[in-house]
Structure formats: C-alpha cells, structure tokens
Amino acid sequence: MGTKINLWIILWGIVFLIFISLMTPVHAQQKTIILATTTSTQDSGLLDILIPIFEKKTGYFVKTIAVGSGQAMAMGQKGEADVLLVHSPEAEKKFIAEGYGINRRLIMHNGYIIVGPSEDPVKIKGVKSSSEAFKKIASMKALFMSRGDNSGTHSKEKGIWKAAGINPEGEKWYQQTGLGMGQTLNVAAEKKAYTLADRGTYLALRKNLNLDILVQGDAILLNIYHVIEVNPAKWPKVNAAGAKAFADFMVSKETQNIIKTFGVDKFGSPLFFPDAGKKEEELGK
Amino acid sequence: MDLILEGIKKAFWLLITFDPEVIKITLLSLQISGTATLVSLLIGISIGTAIALTQFPGRKIVVSLINTGMGLPPVVVGLFVTIFLWRNGPLGFLGVLYTPTAMILAQAVIATPIVMGITLAAIQQLPQKLRLQILALGATRLQMVWILIKEAKLPLLAAVMAGFGGVISEVGASIMVGGNIKGYSRVLTTATVMETSRGNFDIAIALGIILLMLAYFINLILTQVQQRERPR
C-alpha cells in the first residue's frame, strides 16, 4: 500500500512539472535578440520599462544579459550578442575600428561621482578636479575600492588615475572588489572607503549607504552610453534586423522622452539625460 | 535588524497578495530545478547502481571521480556549459543558451554526480548475501536490481533531497547560462542576487525566505515518504 501511494505522489510530481513546462512560451530564433549591456541600465530599472514597450511594439523577444561593458563587448566580439548598450567610449571606438560593431549611436549620458564616507578623512569634498581628488586619496593612502572588472566604470577610473599620473595597482590602500557597482558601493560603505560610481546606481542605493557625493561635475566624469549593433558580416548568426530594430528604438523620440523623465518620481531628478542625435563632443558643455 | 523585519514583512506581503512576478519566479525555480533533479535521478541512479554492482579495472578511479563530482563547483559547470552552448560553440546549433533548457542542463550536470555518488554508496552498503539470496529465489537480474533499489529507498530519497537542494539553491551556473531574463529565466536565486545589487534588500530577503520555505516544503514531502515505513 505504502509504495503505491509513493509512486502516485512521484507520478503527480512529474505530471505537474510537464504541465508547467507546457506553459512556458517557446521563442523562435529569428525573433529573439540578445542584448548585452552594462549593469547600471538594469540595476537602475530603466530597461524594465523600455524592454516591454519594445517587445510589444516589434514582437521581438529581448534577452537582456547584464554584465560589465567589457564583458558585453567581449560577447559582441565573439558574435554571442546581437546588440550592445555600453558606456566605455575608448573601448567602444576600438571595438568599432576592429570591425566588430557597426552603427555606434549616442543614447544618453549622466555623470560619474566620487563618493566616500561622510566624514571625508582626506577632505576631497568640493575639489573641482577629479584627478586632484584622486591625488589626495593616493597621497594620504586613504582606502579606495575599485570595481576591477573591466566595466565602463572601471575603465573610467583607470583613466582618472592616468590623468592624475598615479599607478595605484598593487598599493595596499587600493583594493579591487571584482563586483558590480551596487555591491562595490556596499563594500565601500562598510569599509568607509572612497570609490567611483555612476550616479544612477548611487541614487538607487543611497538609502542604505553611508556614503556622500564628494566630487561631481568635472568634464572627465561624463558617463556616456552608446548602442552598438554587432557586425553581421563577421558573425552570420547575429540577428542583424533585430539589432537594428532595437538600436532604432533606443534613439526614437518616444524612448528618449521616457529616458528624460525616468527616475524623477523616485529620486527627484532624472537618472539619465537623453542625447540621441547629438555629437559626443558637445556633451557636458 | 529593521531590515530583516522589513524583509519578513515584505515576504508575507508578496505571498498573501500572490504577487504575479514572484509566483512566476517561484514556479520557474520549481520547474527548472525539479526537471533537472528528475533527469539527474534517471542518469544517476541507473549508472550509480550499475557501478555498484559490477567489478571492472579502474573502478576505484571512476568512483573517486564521481565522489569528486559531488562537490562540482556550479560556476565551473556554468562556464563550461556556456562555452559549449555559445552560438559559435560546439553545441551552438541547438540555440538554447539563455533559456530555461540551458539552466536545466547545467543543473542536471551539477545534480547527477550527487545522486550517483549517494546511490553508489547506498547500493554498496546492502549486504552481499542479499543479492545471492534474491537470485537464489529465482529472480531475474533486472528484478534483483529493482529489489535492491527498493531496499535502498531511504538513502536514495536522501539522494533526491541532496540533488534537489543542491540545484534549487545554486546561483552561479543559473545566472551564467540563463542570463536572469525577466519573466523567462529569472529564478529565486538569480533574482535575489539582482535585487541585492539594486539595493532592494527587503525584496531580496523576501525572495530568500520564499526559497527557504519552498525547499522546506519539498523536503517535508520527501521526508514524509522516506519515514513512512520507518518504525518497525
């Protein structure tokens, strides 16, 4: 009797599993797009708003893979993504020059900020130039948390160290988390360290952090997002039509208007500034 | 402390209001890990039993490999499954990367050695003479295997629990091969990681609590089955 009941339970388990697997929609290959993007667009919640609108409009199914900009471009290089939404201009230019991507178009920008504990032990608050602030941090050997993951933020941070003429690699006060922006901010808050962050992620996490914005507004701190279609000539399996549709959607007037007001209700100020059609050099002036 | 209370409150709120997003994530977790466990049971129990009942050269090496596999790091499995499933990888023609199918595959790879290892130990610890006795009573070889499996039911159900527990709580491979795509391949663990990095700690705690409850109920049912005939 006992075994019969057991078999019955197991059988029903199998039937139940088959039943719910039938409910999962199957998506045709040519109708799916793989979007490799930086974590900030997902963590800020922007893509949660934009993707459903795009899917409804075009019938495409978007697989959003949120990784650092560096990894997103590595995926593009191997033809494992169709379209990229990234914020690492120097690396992007190289990516285009090497023929891996086409139609790089400006989408939006916001600012990077240097954040640190509210006591600000090395007094960088209000310093106008971010490289000056970094020099101060280095000379006082104040703890600094780096992303260390080849993300857009990490390459920007390396650019600022270069501008300051300092090589912090291997220094005791310079630590790499290897984590995303949100987690790095949490580590910095716990360790009372300084770090470079994008404004969007910082604002989203601010309520749990004991970190203040110390330096902002410097021209080098501009954080610029581009959309890039992966070159189908290099990788025939890339969904070129879908990539183009997504890129066109990102620069469309409707999308740009959504970006303009995104986050205002929650944070009092927008997280991103739409820039479609502008030139990169015009930004921040 | 406030945060934890906040999270518990949120968890109950999400549960009693049947939040569609959370329900979907929970069902998907159950479906993916359940299917992966079933696959691993089919492969793990059959191969595990076969190895337990046969002698061949190099058997010790095979057994130690299986035992090592019981501790297979999920991220390593995730990495290799991703590389194999890439569009331009060896199994790219399947086109299943970033789908629930890929997650089932990766989780099955993680759970199979666990089930296999426990099966192997369970069948081997049955008394040698039992086998002879069954055969002497006129059973065929297949019937003997079936009786042995039934005899080892207690540890085998432990194998089910260990396998399922291993994959439902696993995040490294799931996020790599599934991509944490909203409404499609987002499961409880990957959603928890994402909500943590978004700073939504209350939702992250809520998802964690739901995951624990789910694991508890599944194990409760399995334990019921396992312990039913225990007192004798």
How many contacts does A have with B, using Cβ atoms within 8 A?
Answer: 72
pLDDT at B230 over 70: no
Q: How confident is the model at residue A18 (pLDDT cuts 50, 70, 90)?
A: low
Is A207 at the interface with chain B, CB within 8 A? yes
Residues forming beta bridges with residue A116, ordered by sequence position: A212
Burial class from Cβ neighbours inside 10 Å (0-12, 13-18, 19+) for residue B220 reads exposed
Residues forming beta bridges with residue B169, ordered by sequence position: none
Rounded to the nearest 10 degrees, the angle between the axes of helix B153-168 and helix B100-124 is 150
Answer whether A183 sits within 8 Å of B179, measured CB to CB: no
Q: How confident is the model at residue A135 (pLDDT cuts 50, 70, 90)?
A: very high
> Three-state SS for A115?
strand
- Residues B121-174 have pLDDT tens digits of 999 999 989 988 998 998 888 888 889 988 898 899 999 999 999 999 999 999
Contacts of A285 (CB under 8 A, 6+ apart): none
Distance CA B99, CA B107 (A): 13
Domain residue limits, chain A: 29-110+222-282, 111-221
Class of the domain covering A29-110+222-282: alpha beta
Q: What is the mean pLDDT of chain B?
A: 90
Q: What is the mean pLDDT of residues A89-94?
A: 90
CB A167 within 8 A of CB A174: no
Distance CA A85, CA B152 (A): 54
Q: How confident is the model at residue A28 (pLDDT cuts 50, 70, 90)?
A: low
Residue of chain B whose alpha carbon sits nearest to that of A46:
B198
Answer whether A9 sits within 8 Å of B221, measured CB to CB: yes
Lowest mean pLDDT, pick from A188-202, B64-78, B217-231: B217-231
Nearest alpha-carbon partner for A225 in A178, A185, A276: A276
Smallest Cβ–Cβ distance between A39 and the set B181, B197, B199 belongs to: B197
Look at residue B103 and tell me if it is in a domain: yes
- Residues A253-268 have pLDDT tens digits of 999 999 999 988 888 8
Task: State how far residue A76 is from chain B, nearest Cα, in angstroms.
Answer: 12
Q: Which fold has domain A111-221?
A: D-Maltodextrin-Binding Protein; domain 2 (3.40.190)
CATH number at residue B59: 1.10.3720.10
H or E element, residue B90:
none
pLDDT at B190 over 90: yes
Lowest mean pLDDT, pick from A156-170, B6-20, B109-123: B6-20
Residue of chain A whose alpha carbon sits nearest to that of B34:
A17
pLDDT above 70 coverage of chain A, percent: 89
Residues in B touching A21 (Cβ below 8 Å) = 31, 35
Give the range of the structural domain holding residue B22, as residue numbers without chain letter. Answer: 2-227
Answer whether B98 sits within 8 Å of A2, measured CB to CB: no
Answer whether A63 sits within 8 Å of B95, measured CB to CB: no
Number of domains in chain B: 1
Is the predicted ipTM greater than 0.85, yes or no? Answer: no
Q: What is the mean pLDDT of residues A101-108?
A: 93
Same CATH topology for A29-110+222-282 and A111-221: the answer is: yes
Q: Give the pLDDT of residue A1.
A: 42
- Residues A241-256 have pLDDT tens digits of 999 999 999 999 999 9
Look at residue B232 and tell me if it is in a domain: no
